[in-house]
Structure formats: C-alpha cells, structure tokens
Amino acid sequence: MQSVEKAMTVLSAFHHADGPLTLTQVAERAGIDRSAAQRMIHTLRVLGYIRRDSDGNGFLPGIRLLDHTLDYLRLDPLVRLATPVLQELRTAVRERVDLSLFDNARVIYAIRLQTKRQTLNATLVGHSVPSFCTSGGWAMLSRLSPDRARAIVEASDRRPFTPHTITDVDEIMARIAQTRADGYALAISQILSGEIAAGFPIMDANGDPVAAIHIAGSLAEWTPADFVQRVVPPGQQAARAISRF
Amino acid sequence: MQSVEKAMTVLSAFHHADGPLTLTQVAERAGIDRSAAQRMIHTLRVLGYIRRDSDGNGFLPGIRLLDHTLDYLRLDPLVRLATPVLQELRTAVRERVDLSLFDNARVIYAIRLQTKRQTLNATLVGHSVPSFCTSGGWAMLSRLSPDRARAIVEASDRRPFTPHTITDVDEIMARIAQTRADGYALAISQILSGEIAAGFPIMDANGDPVAAIHIAGSLAEWTPADFVQRVVPPGQQAARAISRF
C-alpha cells in the first residue's frame, strides 16, 4: 500500500468511531501495523489532519479537514447554485430542507437548512443515509435505468431503521417506479418514525441524477396529502431551477 | 517532500481557487512539477478526494472529503455538546447563531444555524474569518494573555472588510480589553456593513479559549443597545453551558 493511500486509510479509521481512537485502534481499523500507524499519525498531526484528544488518551480528526470541506462546498457548481434556491425554498415551506449528493448506495448531505426540531446527526454536513429507503435516494434512483437502480438496491445493506422501513427489493423498486411516474418521492417513517419526506431529483447536463432536494416534516403536523399539496410544487420548482446547472 | 505531505499540498491547492483547477494550476499552486502533480491527482482521484469537473477542463475536491468533515464534527466533544445548546439559543434569539473554533489568526465556523438573510459563504461549514475583527475572535483573544493576543493581532493580515473595520493594533487591543471587561464582544460593521454581532468565548478544562459563539443581526432591525439587551444574556448562558466541556 503506498503511503498516500495509507494516510487516507488512517484518516478513514474515524468513519465508524464513536469517540477518540487510541493508536492501537487506529492501526486495527486501518489494517496496518502499530509502528506504521504511529508514523502516519505523526505526519498527519504535524499537518493538522489529526489531533490529540484533550484528555490525551486518543486521537481525533484535525481542524485542517474543515478547510477542505469549505473547498468542496464553495467550489462545487451544484452547491453554489443550489444554496440561494434552497434558502428560498426553506422560507417558503418552513420545514427542514436538505441537498444531498448521489453516491450510489448512499446520499450525502451537502447543505442543511434546519428547523428547530433536530437531532445532532441530522444537522451535520457530510452525514449520509442509504439511497434504498430515503426520499432523495428514491428520487435519484428513479432517474437511473431500472436495471442500474435494482443493482444498487440489491447491493445495499437493507437493514431497517424503523418498523416501517421497506427492505424488500421488489417493494422498493415499486416505490421507485411510483417516484418515476410522479416526478417526486414520498417517504414515510423510513429513516425516522413519524417523519414524512419528499425528494426531488436534480440532473446534470447529461440528464444523470447527481443530487436531490429533501423536504422533511412531521406526521404530527401534516397529513401526507396536505404535505404533498404544500411542499411538492415549490420542491419541484426548486429542483428544476438547479437541474442541468 | 514526502508523499503524504505532497498529497495534502495538492488538496490544499484548492484553498484559494475560485473554480476548477487545471493540472498546471494544481502543480503551480502546490509548488511541485507537472508530472508529480499528475501522479498525485491520479492517486487522489482513485481514492475519491479529487474529481474531474463536469466540463472536463479541470479538477475539483472530491466527495470523500465530506466523510471526514462528518468525522470531525460528530467526534469533536465540543461540537457534540454545543449543537443542542446552539439550537436552543437560535430558537430563543431568532438570529443567526454560529460556533467557531479558534485557530489563532482566524476563527473557523463549525456549526451554522441560519436565518433567511444569508449570503452563500455565510452558510458554509469550514468558512473562516479573521480573529482581529470579528466578535468571536475578540471574545477568544480576550481570554489569552494580552501579549499573546497582541502578537496574533500584529501578525494578522489586517486589510479592512468594510470602511468601519478597525485595523489599528492599539484600537483592536482596546476592543479586546473592553471585551475582557464585559465578558462578551460587540462587533459592528466589521466584516459586513450593517451587521451587528455579539461573541462569547468558550474555554476548555484548562481555561484556554477554544471556541466562540457568534450571534449576528442587522442594524436595520436592531439598535446596538436593544441587541445587547436581547442577545447577551442567552448568549452568555449558552457559552457557560458549553465551557469546560
């Protein structure tokens, strides 16, 4: 393994961590030996990509990573164009509005415009959710060929998030077909019980789906019919304004 | 230069770019030769940290960077603790609320809770502003020794953002002293004309400033006295709730 790849593997050791990692944990998760991990951590610490936890017991990602986050977000032509459009949409619908980017089996949030009801992870840029059971995922999969969409769904880890999460491939494909017919996706209690979300696909100049707008509300406040009537027209308009950016 | 450092230099070539970079531009900005840049870009593309611009004329940061953003944000003990506190604060003051992290001459935004009045950069995680002329910067500098604060101010690029930006070192030090006495900073039209912002320092277990809360409003809607009366008590309370996390 060449050293750049090794460095990125060391940084990626934090992907499923739930706290600071010790040297041994970094080495194990990166699949490299302890002394290689130590040298790599040293190099990455000097550069600011890894830091010591304030308790001194382990390591955490370093602040320099946020500079690259900014580069990604401010240089991406889609994010640039979408930001003011999503802000207007957020003002119009007064519900949570997100932009997610297509990454096959998952969608990654790049813009998050919150409301006051939020859990921690639900507000973080970079958070990803599976494509197979989210409004944005269905929206994007509906714009792929059914064969390619099915291949992504079949290859997905389809563990349910709630008792209502649809995990059967044929049932998911039926939702995707419905999304294709409607032009938007409607996901109810798929990731979070009691959440209703509408998803709208965004296409690039080749007509390929690259992103989705998500609008999410609570079933405590909305019937599905009212939610659709209220958020689908402005959501579709926003997605059209950004598509083929 | 070893290859990990070179890889990070290539990624950092995008820090001041205002669009996709060509191979030649990456090489120039990274200070390496074209063939080294080409090999490094290839490696980073395979790993997902660089991608081709959709026009095919240049390169952009890759989506894998967002995974590391998430790691930074969700694992940082301060960000973790601050998120729900800032959400409550945002609900209470109904103005823009940010958490920024101390990085000497600059403060880097890690949490952004928007209102509807926003410009693009003002919503992006990873955006940084100078410490010498921001409410959060003054708040953090006020908790350093005056000598260390002065050294940071003196070493700063003190180009003004608005006609009101204070650039004189002694005048800035007077604002920092005022901030120390008051326990909060008040910055008027320093970064953006017509913006009023209050900053509150957050200390770690050693009493060192590590972050700040910013609350920002518009002079079109607030007199400075009303703004202070309205936002300072909840801002101070929030900063106390997070300090020594």
Q: Give the CATH number of the domain where residue B58 resides.
A: 1.10.10.10
Distance from CA of A221 to the nearest CA of B (A): 19
Q: Is B119's pLDDT higher than 60? A: no
Same domain, B135 and B182: yes
**Chain A residues lying within 8 Å of B76, measured CB to CB:** 60-61
Same domain, A73 and A137: yes
User: What does the alpha-carbon distance between residue B186 and residue B190 come to, in Å, rounded to a whole number?
Assistant: 10
Is B43 within 8 Å of A90 when comparing Cβ atoms? no
Q: Which of B62, B77, B95 is the last residue of a domain?
A: B62
- The confidence score (pLDDT) of residue B120 equals 47
Pick A76's closest partner by Cβ from B40, B60, B77.
B60
Neighbours of A165 (CB within 10 A): 18
User: What does the alpha-carbon distance between residue A114 and residue B112 come to, in Å, rounded to a whole number?
Assistant: 10
Q: Is B64's pLDDT higher than 70? A: yes
Q: Is A1's pLDDT higher than 80? A: no
Containing structural domain, residue A86 = 68-242
Total domain count for chain A?
2
Same domain, B86 and B169: yes
ipTM for this model: 0.79
Q: Which of B30, B47, B62 is the last residue of a domain?
A: B62
Q: Is B200's pLDDT higher than 50? A: yes
Distance from CA of B29 to the nearest CA of A (A): 14
Which tokens hold the place of A216? 């999410």
Same domain, A229 and A145: yes
Is B108 within 8 Å of A68 when comparing Cβ atoms? no
Taking residues A204-230, report their average pLDDT: 94
Q: Is A121's pLDDT higher than 80? A: no
Is B8 within 8 Å of A49 when comparing Cβ atoms? yes
Distance from CA of A30 to the nearest CA of B (A): 15
Residues 6+ apart with CB under 8 A from A51: A45, A59, A60, A61, A62, A63
- The confidence score (pLDDT) of residue A223 equals 96
Same domain, B136 and B238: yes
CATH of the domain at A204: 3.30.450.40
- The confidence score (pLDDT) of residue A108 equals 87
Q: Which of A24, A40, A62 is the last residue of a domain?
A: A62
Same domain, A87 and A204: yes
Same domain, A77 and A180: yes
- The confidence score (pLDDT) of residue B116 equals 53
**Chain A residues lying within 8 Å of B50, measured CB to CB:** none
Taking residues B144-164, report their average pLDDT: 95
User: What does the alpha-carbon distance between residue B140 and residue B151 come to, in Å, rounded to a whole number?
Assistant: 14
Same domain, A165 and A58: no
The more confident residue out of A33 and A16 is A33
User: What does the alpha-carbon distance between residue B156 and residue B150 come to, in Å, rounded to a whole number?
Assistant: 10
- The confidence score (pLDDT) of residue B205 equals 86
- The confidence score (pLDDT) of residue A116 equals 53
Pick A71's closest partner by Cβ from B61, B73, B75.
B61
Same domain, B18 and B93: no
Same domain, B139 and B206: yes
Pick A68's closest partner by Cβ from B11, B20, B83.
B11
Same domain, A77 and A94: yes
Best of A4, A101, A115 to substitute, by most chain B Cβ atoms within 10 angstroms, is A4
Same domain, B41 and B114: no
Q: Which long-range contacts (CB under 8 A, 24 or more apart) does A85-90 make?
A: A85/A238, A85/A241, A85/A242, A86/A111, A86/A113, A86/A213, A86/A238, A87/A113, A87/B114, A87/B116, A87/B118, A87/B123, A88/A238, A89/A213, A89/A215, A89/A234, A89/A235, A89/A238, A90/B116
Side chain identity at residue A91, one-letter code? T
Q: Is A120's pLDDT higher than 70? A: no
